[in-house]
Amino acid sequence: MFRKEVSHCRIRVRNIKKSNRHFLKDRQMIYVFILNHEHEFPIGIMCKVLEVSRSSYYHWKRSFVNKRQQTKAELKRVITEVYLEFKQRYGSPRLTIELNARGYKISKPTVAKYMRELGLRSKVARRYRVITDSEHNYLVVDNVLNREFTQTKPGKAWVSDITYIAVKEGFVYLTTVIDLYDRKVIGWSLSKDMTTENTTLAAFKMAKNNRAFEQGLIFHSDQGVQYANYKFANYLESFNVVRSMSRKANCWDNAVAESFFKSLKVEMVYGNLRMSSKQMEIKVFEYIEIWYNKTRRHSYLNYQTINEFNQIININKVA
């Protein structure tokens, strides 16, 4: 019975050898073939039929397995370094893009697998409360933007919102202005109060200084008093800016601004010890001006940084 099984194995291996005769000309390929079929056929029979010695195969196997383990260990080391370099903010999709950009050929499933084995996870989101006050008697304008979040030119449509951040002294309030063209935060203000001067006006003035805009720029926000009051409304209208507001209690109408605050809270605020307002100001500056606007890879931009996206657009315009 045993001899019959051995004979059957030899016939099957010979048939496989014939069907793969071009593939199995190289000794390295023969060793790989044996390794991949160890669970099907006895190693001795495969070595005999394929005309290689068992000792040479085992020597290659030890070297191959060690090399593969070394490669895996090196990739895990690099993944951990990049993960920590970006302050635990990247999950497997962005880590994969970053590693490929640095010359490492590795797929997203492999990165995800190694991250699980290493116990690495991107920071997880929490819900946050909307703090703008929409209970007022000022004029509320229509939703002119109408969720047209994709723009083909800079300076055509900006979105803005306000959120709170807890600090040792209580709270500070972050107001941002984002250009929908490239998702860049072009204006922002961090204030200790909710006055129009220190929130929406300050952020819009920074945005105006940082980026030119077209006549008829759409400025979209929620219905908060900081956006609806006469002082802010008159200032925008003096530049022929078209005001647009989300429908009441509809966060999807301002999804891009909401998404930015979610990223900010997850990637910078949550998990850190409560800071002083001065420390938080430094952290917010670092997050927006150095990380988000220059370093972070954005899924909306096909995982390019904002700078890479604009460089490619400029090159295409010249060409």
Q: pLDDT at position 23, please?
A: 44
Cα separations in angstroms, 249 against 126, 130, 225, 243:
19, 10, 14, 18
Q: State whether residue 274 is helix, strand or coil.
A: coil
Q: Give the mean model confidence (pLDDT) for residues 203-217.
A: 94
Which of 135-144, 198-207, 214-223 comes out lowest in average pLDDT?
Answer: 135-144
Beta pairing partners, 163:
174
pTM equals: 0.66
For 169-207, b where at least 16 C-beta lie within 10 A, e where not — what string? eeebbbbbbbbbbbbbbbbbbbbeebebebbbbbbbebb
Which one has a higher pLDDT value, 197 or 37?
A: 197
Res. 128: pLDDT tops 90: no
Q: State whether residue 187 is helix, strand or coil.
A: strand
Q: pLDDT at position 1, please?
A: 46
Place of tokens 């999804």: 255
Res. 18: pLDDT tops 50: yes
Helix (H) / strand (E) element for 305: namely: none
Q: What distance in Å separates the CA atoms of residue 169 and residue 259, rounded to the nearest whole number? A: 26
- Length of the chain as a residue count: 319
pLDDT one-digit tens code per residue, 100-126: 888 888 898 999 988 888 777 776 555
Alpha carbon dihedral 102, 180, 204, 230, in 10-degree steps, equals -160
pLDDT one-digit tens code per residue, 40-55: 888 888 888 788 888 8
Q: pLDDT at position 45, please?
A: 82
Which one has a higher pLDDT value, 69 or 220?
A: 220
Which one has a higher pLDDT value, 144 or 17?
A: 144
Q: pLDDT at position 30, please?
A: 81
Binned at pLDDT 50, 70 and 90, residue 60 comes out as confident
